[in-house]
Structure 1
Amino acid sequence: MDVGIVGAGKIGATLARKLSAAGHDVLLSNSRGPETIREIATASGAVAKHTEELVRRSQVVIVSVPFSELPRLKPAFSGIDESVAVIDTSNYFPFRDGALEGLADSRTESHWVSAQLGRPVLKAWNSILAGSLAEKGLPGGAHARIALPVAGDGAEGKAIAMMLVDATGFDPIDAGSLDESWRQEPGNPAYCTDLRTGDLELALKQADRKIAIRKRDLVADKVFAARDQYTDEDILDLGRRIYSLTADDPELNP
């Protein structure tokens, strides 16, 4: 497929490398222009382009930019064909992204993203750390293969997203409609815990929206306060512990 990836950070560049290696034709863009990412694109097996051209030429577009940067992309998506699947990998963190207009009134973060881009999105690759995405992918059928949730509306687009997740080395799990996408957002047991299929399906069912924000902020506060002292494995362990807490746990009620 012709795959466009908007964002050349750790997630975007890793997806470019993995999908290119899987045989897809990959275009890569960022906010500063293709000349600033040519080396990254070449190393990933992709071709650097302006975002507007990337969107026009792609059958599927993966958006991998900071959450607060999403509104600036709307003009580039204004003429996109309805057949193009758009997949968002972002997550909202208040300490990083600040207060964003309309987000509090949106059904889910992904509905807000859809409104910013002017078209429905699917949600995938948001629930894995960059290091795990880069290093832990395995061939299909491998016993220890990590599973990743994919949420969204529309069977065709979801099938494409799940196929691409599989191509990056992870078992795709249908996580329901976009209304259910909150279950894979930060603060829930399915977020950045590197689970296999059965455990991930259970984690999605165990999501508790009432306390997810408290858990998200607690993990973010601990990691941010420690700066670079946390390794990816430390963050995984911390998330697994915090996201399993119940509403009355003293750690969530200081």
Structure 2
Amino acid sequence: MTTIGIIGAGLIGSQIARKAVELGYDVVISNSRGPETLAGLVAELGPNARAATPAEAAAAGDFAVVAVPLKNYRDVPAEPLAGKIVIDANNYYWERDGRIPALDNGEATTSGLLQEHLRDSKVAKGFNHIMAAEITTDGKPSAAEDRRALATASDHPEAAELVTRLYDEFGFDTVNIGLLEDSWRVERDRPAYVVRQDAAELKENLGKATRTP
């Protein structure tokens, strides 16, 4: 049984956990406040889920999902994630995270920052441009003509392939942006951000994106 380590049990992390358990994954989920604060969520998720510390979740997962406020990305434990694929669902909200000049100036990407921190991991962008509730409600079978598409990006092909497989299981098509340096195209305030779109529309919106400054 594949285990997903989830670091961050907010809106996105908890919804990914719900869908993952439904699909038969084991889930080890964590937050910054301690496993005891997740008792209600774990009870809801059932026997295939347990709460842990971030380091324990990172160690337990065959791969991991990071869904924490971007200001806390340096707190993600690096050592237990070494050699593993890490799906980055983070977004930059300067109102919450404080100003990050490298992002404001268009010199970095949110997922690129996490990859720099997790130097021995394989980071792929995923689940960052969909409203949390829609992760469990918008998925459709692969044959659906109006199937929603989500984007990924990674410097490691095997990481992008894992996200593609997971998206498909969750009920979404995938558009691969390419490398992490281009993942800004699906970040906050770009045309592809948190809108329902099929693969063709997502590709079009990615092409419309402009970078600041």
Gapped regions of structure 2 (runs ≥ 5) = none
Cα shift at 1:143: 2.2
1:153 aligned partner? 155
Please give the secondary structure, in 2, of the residue aligned with 1:20. helix
Q: 1:246 — aligned with what?
A: none
CA offset digits 1:127-148 (Å, max 9, x no partner): 1112322322222222222100
Alignment of 1:56-205 (within 5 A): 56-73=59-76, 76-82=77-83, 84-100=84-100, 103=103, 106-118=107-119, 119-205=121-207
1:122–1:152 Cα contact (<8 Å) kept: yes
The structure with more strand, counted as a fraction of residues: 2
Q: Which residue of 2 aligns with 1:15?
A: 16
Higher relative contact order (CA 8 A, sep 6+): 2
- Of structures 1 and 2, the larger Rg is shown by 1
Pick from 32, 55, 58 the counterpart of residue 58 of structure 2.
55
**Number of residue equivalences:** 208
Give the Cα–Cα distance (whole angstroms) in 1 for the partners of residues 23 and 123 of structure 2. Answer: 23
Q: Distance in 1 between matches of 2:45 and 2:18?
A: 4
Change in 2 beyond 3 A, CA 1:81/1:195: same
CA RMSD between the two structures:
1.8
Bigger shift: residues 127-136 or 15-24: 127-136
Work out the CA distance in 2 between the residues paired with 1:42 and 1:149. 31
Match of 1:172, SS? strand
Question: Displaced runs of 4+ in structure 1, greater than 6 A?
Answer: none
SS in structure 2 opposite 1:193?
coil
The one-character-per-residue Cα deviations of 1:19-66 (angstroms, maximum 9, x if unpaired) are: 111121111111111111022023124211111111112111000111
Q: Percent of pairs identical after alignment?
A: 35
Relative to total residues, which structure has the larger helix share, 1 or 2?
1
TM-score by length of 1: 0.76
| Equivalent residue runs for 1:28-43 within 5 Å | 28-43=29-44
Structure 2 residue identity aligned to 1:185:
E
* Residue aligned with 1:151, SS: strand
Q: State the alpha-carbon separation in 2 of the partners of residues 71 and 6 from structure 1.
A: 12
Q: What is the CA-CA distance between 1:199 and the residue it aligns to?
A: 0.7
Letter in 2 for 1:69: N
- Per-residue CA deviation, residues 178-230 of structure 1 (Å, 9 max, x unaligned), is 1110110112111111101111111112211147xxxxxxxxxxxxxxxxxxx
CA contact under 8 A between 2:102 and 2:108: conserved in structure 1?
no
Say which SS state the counterpart of residue 199 (structure 1) adopts. helix
Residue 157 of structure 1, CA deviation = 1.3
Within a 5 Å distance, the mapping from 1:221-236 to structure 2 comes to: none
